[in-house]
Structure 1
Amino acid sequence: MLKIYRIDHVAVAAPDIDKQLALLEGLFGFRRTHVWDNPAAGVRGVRLAVPGAAGQTWVVLAPSGEGGSLQRWLDEKGGRPGLHHVGAEVPDLDAAVAELDKRGLQVTDSVPGLWVEASLSPPEHGPGVLWRLRGPGHLAMLGDDDATAVKPVDANGPTLGIRGIDHICQAFHDRDELSRWYSDLAGFVEVWRTADDEIPDMADLVLNVPGSSICWEVITGRGEDSFVDKFLARNGAAAHHVTFEVADWDAALAACGVHDIPTFDDEEGVKDGAAWKHTFIHPKHAGGVLVQLFWEERPGVWVRSDKIPPAN
Structure 2
Amino acid sequence: MQIYRIDHVSQAAADLDAQVGLLEGLFGFRRVRAWDNPAEGVRGARLEIPGGPGQAWEVVAPAGDRSALRAWLDERGGRPGLHHVGAEVPDLAAARAELESRGIKPAEGPDGAWIEASLSPPEHGPGVLFRLRGPGGLSMCGDSGDNAVEPSGPDGPSSSPTNGRAALDGPSLGIVALDHVCQAFPDRDELARWYRDLAGFVQVWRTPEDAYPDMADLVLNIPGSSICWEVITGRGEDSFVDRFLERSGPGAHHVTFEVADWDAALAACERHGVPTFDDEEGVTDGAAWKHTFIHPKHTGGVLVQLFWEERPGVWVRSDKIPPTWT
Q: TM-score range by the shorter chain?
A: over 0.9
Instruction: Please show how residues 215-234 of structure 1 align to structure 2 within 5 Å.
Output: 215-234=228-247
Correspondence for 2:41: 42
Q: Is residue 165 from structure 1 mapped to residue 178 from structure 2 by the alignment?
A: yes
- Post-superposition Cα deviations, 1:12-64, rounded to whole Å, max 9, x if no partner, equal 00111122122101100001111111110000001111111230210000000
Structure 1 stretches (4+) deviating beyond 4 angstroms? 149-155
Q: Is residue 181 from structure 1 mapped to residue 194 from structure 2 by the alignment?
A: yes
Q: Is residue 113 from structure 1 mapped to residue 112 from structure 2 by the alignment?
A: yes
Contact between 2:296 and 2:302, CA under 8 Å: does it hold in 1?
Answer: yes
In structure 2, distance between residues paired with 1:195 and 1:126: 27
- Post-superposition Cα deviations, 1:256-296, rounded to whole Å, max 9, x if no partner, equal 00000000000000000000000000000011000000000
Instruction: Please show how residues 21-170 of structure 1 align to structure 2 within 5 Å.
Output: 21-145=20-144, 146-148=147-149, 150=151, 151=155, 153=158, 156-170=169-183
Correspondence for 2:256: 243
Contact between 1:43 and 1:64, CA under 8 Å: does it hold in 2?
Answer: yes
Of stretches 175-184 and 53-62 in structure 1, the one that deviates more from structure 2 is 53-62
With normalisation by structure 2, the TM-score equals 0.92
Q: Is residue 264 from structure 1 mapped to residue 277 from structure 2 by the alignment?
A: yes
Contact between 1:192 and 1:309, CA under 8 Å: does it hold in 2?
Answer: no
Contact between 2:204 and 2:319, CA under 8 Å: does it hold in 1?
Answer: no
Distance 1:306 1:136, change over 3 A: closer
Correspondence for 2:290: 277
Q: Which runs of 5+ in 1 are unaligned?
A: none
In structure 1, distance between residues paired with 2:270 and 2:33: 29
With normalisation by structure 1, the TM-score equals 0.96
Distance 1:311 1:223, change over 3 A: closer
CA RMSD of aligned residues (A): 1.5
Cα shift at 1:149: 6.5
Cα shift at 1:108: 3.6
Q: What's the secondary structure of 1:71's corresponding residue? A: helix
Q: Which amino acid aligns with 1:63?
A: P
Correspondence for 2:165: none
Contact between 2:282 and 2:290, CA under 8 Å: does it hold in 1?
Answer: yes
Cα shift at 1:111: 2.4
Contact between 1:193 and 1:308, CA under 8 Å: does it hold in 2?
Answer: yes
In structure 1, distance between residues paired with 2:67 and 2:182: 28
Correspondence for 1:214: 227
